[in-house]
């Protein structure tokens, strides 16, 4: 191959592939709005808050960003919104172990930011992030789950609490909660956390009385 032929291959080939890329980009642009909810004024205001505080300097969203702090794509699915709001405005008041600094996010800004995060959680991301294999498997090693264990999973308690090393770290660990609390305390606390723990960031457990009792029965087995 002569140098001139190699040069022409480089230039024309690059233009060819760029033309395909432009075509795909055009097609994609026409499809994006259908794969995500409508963008309200509040969602857009929340995006500006996201940029203003340079959130991406620590977090990732849709998996892109800085890998220093949790991915926020599904933040509003994983944590109650009340908890998120309190955390955004003063992280350590919601979770004393938090390493996020208090940035001065105002009340209204927090609401906007949560609306923005909620919008992101509803984008069709081709199934990302995938469900963890172990959590998706449900019962472990063929053992039937108790009613209380099933409720613990379906109510999403593990998003914040840890049992035997599995779960979130934003709430207190529950591995030995049965040794610390009795049944009545647990039931009362589920119904109204703030009455039992001052400034608790935990939301009320919205479930029928019978389920709350079953959940408490499961908790007292944890010793």
Partner 1 sequence: MSIKYQSQKIAEYFYTFAVVLFLVQVVVGIIAALQFIWPSFFILNFNTIRTLHINALVVWLLTGLMGATYYVVPEESETELWSLPLAKLQFWATVVAITAVVLGYIWMGLNPQANSPIMGITPLNEGREYIEAPRWADVLIVISVLLFLFINFMTMLKTKKWTGIQGTLIGGLTVLALMYLPGMFYTKSMVKDQFWWWWVVHLWVEGAWEVIAGALLAFMLMKVVGARREVVEKWMYIEVGFVMFTGILGTGHHYYWIGTPGYWLWVGGIFSSLEPLPLLFMVWDAFRTTREARNVENRAGLYYTVAHAIFNFVGAGLWGVIHTLPQINKWTHGTQITTAHGHLAFYGAYVLLVLAMIYITLPAIRGVKAFNASRAFQSFWWMTISMVFIVLTITGAGMVQVYMERLMGLDYVAVKANYNMWFWILRAIFGVGFLIGVGIFVIDFFRLGKEPAPAVTAAPERL
**Binders of partner 1 in range 171-200 (CB under 8 A):** none
**Closer CB to partner 1, 71 or 111, in the complex:** 71
62 in Cβ contact with 124 (< 8 Å) = no
Q: Least distance in Å: CB of 182 to partner 1?
A: 28
Q: Least distance in Å: CB of 3 to partner 1?
A: 5
Which residue from 89, 145, 155, 162 is in contact with partner 1, where contact means CB under 8 A? 162
Residues 23-62 that bind partner 1 (CB under 8 A): 24-25, 27-29, 31-33, 35-36, 39, 43-44, 47-48, 50-58, 60-62
Give the count of residues interacting with partner 1 (CB under 8 A): 76
Burial call 117-152: b when 16+ CB within 10 Å, e when fewer: bbbbeeeeeeeeeeeeeeeeeeeeeeeeeeebbbbb
Q: Any contact of residue 141 with partner 1 (CB under 8 A)?
A: no
Q: Least distance in Å: CB of 1 to partner 1?
A: 7
Which residue from 93, 99, 146, 154 is in contact with partner 1, where contact means CB under 8 A? 99
Q: Least distance in Å: CB of 112 to partner 1?
A: 12
Q: Any contact of residue 96 with partner 1 (CB under 8 A)?
A: no
Binding segment toward partner 1, per CB under 8 A, in 81-89, 125-133, 183-191, 210-218: 125-133
Q: Residue 197's closest CA among 209, 183, 212, 181?
A: 181
């Amino acid at each position: 191959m002569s140098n001139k032929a190699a040069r022409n291959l480089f230039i024309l080939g690059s233009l060819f592939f760029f033309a395909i890329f432009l075509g795909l980009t055009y097609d994609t642009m026409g499809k994006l709005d259908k794969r995500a909810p409508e963008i309200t004024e509040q969602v857009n205001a929340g995006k500006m808050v996201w940029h203003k505080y340079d959130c991406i300097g620590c977090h990732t969203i849709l998996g892109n960003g800085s890998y220093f702090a949790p991915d926020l794509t599904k933040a509003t699915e994983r944590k109650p919104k009340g908890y998120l709001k309190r955390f955004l405005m003063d992280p350590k008041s919601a979770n004393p172990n938090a390493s996020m600094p208090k940035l001065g996010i105002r009340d209204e800004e927090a609401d906007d930011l949560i609306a923005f995060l909620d919008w992101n959680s509803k984008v069709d991301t081709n199934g990302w992030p995938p469900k963890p294999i172990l959590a998706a498997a449900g019962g472990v090693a063929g053992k039937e789950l108790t009613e209380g264990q099933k409720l613990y999973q379906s109510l999403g308690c593990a998003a914040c609490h840890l049992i035997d090393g599995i779960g979130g770290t934003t709430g207190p660990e529950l591995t030995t909660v049965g040794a610390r609390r009795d049944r009545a305390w647990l039931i009362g606390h589920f119904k109204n956390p703030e009455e039992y723990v001052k400034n608790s960031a935990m939301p009320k457990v919205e479930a029928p009385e019978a389920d709350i009792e079953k959940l408490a029965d499961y908790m007292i087995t944890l010793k």
